[in-house]
A and B are shown apart, each in its own frame.
Chain A
Amino acid sequence: MAAKTRVCVKINGEQLEFLCEPRQSLLECLRDILGLTGSKEGCNDGNCGACSVLLNERVVNSCLVLGVEVDGQEVTTVEGLADWRGLHPLQQAFLDHAALQCGYCTPGILIASKALLDREPNPSEDRIRTWLAGNLCRCTGYDKIIRAVQDAVGRIAQPREEVKR
């Protein structure tokens, strides 16, 4: 076992520390060290987007970031989308539009969509599709995902309601 490095990072708003080897990806650190298994491994080479997280508010493939690289930075994962008020409007839109089937790509797609809507309040269908091109979904054919993201645009403008469950 190679020597471990201490990493201090803010994850989903919480300041955390962990020890990892340089060869461990951010995805491995999230899943295996921190128990945040919401981010998924689909390809481990940056081609599926299931591991998408926000690193300093930018979408990245966490499989292509080393855990040691995030020292001093800020990470948001799917676990950080909902808060005490309930689900994020995107999450609720995904439920309402049945925009998921197996749910495996869903965390990455939610994260990527959030990054888009945080930047561009009213993206076109083409823009959403291009933005999400690196997030593969094999179940839905994308249709309902695109509709859910479009619909979330309107909801984000509204105050977040308390949500059941």
Chain B
Amino acid sequence: MKAFDYLAPTTVEDVLAALVGKGDRVRPLAGGTDLIVQMRRGALEVDAVVDVKKIPELNGIAYRPGEGLTIGAAVPCHRIVEHPDIMKMYPGLVDAVALIGGTAIKGRATMGGNLCNAAPSADSIPAMIVLGGTCHIAGPAGMRTMPAELFCKGPGETVLGREELLVSVHFPPPKSRFGACYLRFIPRHEMDIAVVGVGASVALDPDWARITMARVALGAVGPTPILAETVGTSLKGKEPSEASFAEAARLAQEAARPITDMRGTEAQRRHLVGVLTRRALRGALERAKGGRSGGR
């Protein structure tokens, strides 16, 4: 690994100052589980890393019933999956974050890093999308926000400018009769990169009879995680049934743009999008109906 400098500022302003004018030669370092691997492999060369773990705004988890949930970009996964409020109110997020690596990776890796690394297969991103997550970004011109589904632009590419920093991700408070679920398919039972990942969320009307809102987001079947908007449109106003979920699955398959690589074939991925969309919708429905453990 090429030599580099290490900075550990304690304020967002100092991070931004360190990034100014450095192009891609200075990178924020959160959990490091992607960054250090890429640097060691020679895929990435930097002059300095800026450790963002000492900055309060990036390290907090805040949940307020009326306001929702804010997770700092440098919060390690283990804190998210073990947080009582998140477990209770955002189980769909826990589904996804719990799948990021093994125990030791979760001890270090962050949801913010998962997002900024922008892998098409990143487990947390479809979950963020279906939960309506908003990214809070600090930059020279101040703060701006971006819906999670618009954050990634391509494999490893995001909307972040070279002088910007992801500070946190905010989730709205869950509506009544709302449920979300994330499922992925991997060949082994742990430790793999998703062959396909599907996040789904649904909200039901007060009679528990019709879907008032649905979102389905797909991972590893395109250059970025994909919000399958046709699926949401199709489900809105429908009864939650195997028939409507089957149609949703078909539309999700249409929205997917899978390729063949060493982790899966195009046909397999397209097929799995259908399977997982149905299963994730069932999981989300179950949670919407109150069975909060729902899921697989």
Contacts and interface: CB of A to CB of B under 8 A. Distances in A.
Given A59-B104, A130-B190, A133-B190, A22 B33 contact: no
A45 B104 CA distance: 12
A22 B32 contact: no
A5 B36 contact: no
Nearest to B191: A133
Given A2-B3, A52-B104, A60-B104, A45 B40 contact: yes
B123 interface: no
A68 interface: yes
Interface in A29-47: 44-47
A64 B32 contact: yes
Contacts of B101: 46, 134
A64 B37 contact: yes
Contacts of A135: 102, 104
B104 A5 contact: no
Contacts, number: 88
A64 B34 CA distance: 9
A50 B40 CA distance: 18
Looking at chain A's contact residues, the main secondary structure is mixed
Contacts of B32: 64-66, 69
A112 B40 contact: no
Given A46-B33, A47-B191, A23 B103 contact: no
A106 interface: no
A66 B190 contact: no
Given A25-B36, A46-B33, A131-B103, A58 B4 contact: no
Interface of B: 1-6, 8, 29, 31-33, 36-37, 39-41, 49, 51, 53, 76, 78, 101-105, 107-108, 189-191
Closest 9 CB pairs of A and B: A134-B102, A2-B3, A133-B190, A22-B6, A58-B107, A60-B107, A59-B104, A61-B104, A23-B1
